[in-house]
Amino acid sequence: MQATVKQTLNASADKIWEILRTFDKVETYISMVTKTELDGQGVGSQRTCTAMNPDGSTSKIVEKLDYLNDDEKTMKISIIDGPLPLNSAIVTIKVGALEDNKTELEFDAIFDPKPGAEEELKKGFQGVFQVAAQGLE
């Protein structure tokens, strides 16, 4: 399955990319993330994001940086552990420069949900992507 969000932001592509490419401090742009722990640097590094759930409990999601290209301002991230009802997921993030110091930001998730979780996951990915885009602006 796939979930995509594409938004135009009122911020420079270079500024947005500098935040994303570090693969760290997710809590600065995704409000439900309270802490990011980074293990390693660059491609192959992993981060553990502690997120606040709607019921007040917390959960941890472990992600791995699979691909990073500064020229294309593109990165790919695998979700490798966490409470989400999925077998696998790869998120591609693309940052594109537009005129007037604006940015086109695209999040695209390709995921294999557990049976019955398709729509829940699709809506969940889209919601997180929209929160991230707003937080980066």
The string of pLDDT tens digits covering residues 40-82 is 999 999 999 999 988 999 999 999 999 999 999 999 999 999 9
Helical residues (DSSP H) of 42-136, grouped into ranges: 118-136
**pLDDT in the model for residue 13:** 98
Task: Return the ∠ at Cα 108 (arms to 46 and 54), rounded to 5°.
Answer: 70
The Cα 80–Cα 5 span in angstroms is 21
Tally the domains of the chain. Answer: 1
Query: For 5-48, how does the pLDDT look when each residue is reduced to its tens digit (9 = 90+)?
Result: 999 999 999 999 999 999 999 999 999 999 999 999 999 999 99
**CATH of residue 77:** 3.30.530.20
Q: Which SS3 state, helix, strand or coil, does residue 64 take? A: strand
Domain hosting 87: range is 2-136
Q: Model confidence at 86, in pLDDT bands (50, 70, 90)? A: very high
Backbone angles phi, psi at 128, to 5 degrees: -65, -40
**pLDDT in the model for residue 77:** 99
> Is this structure's pTM higher than 0.85?
yes
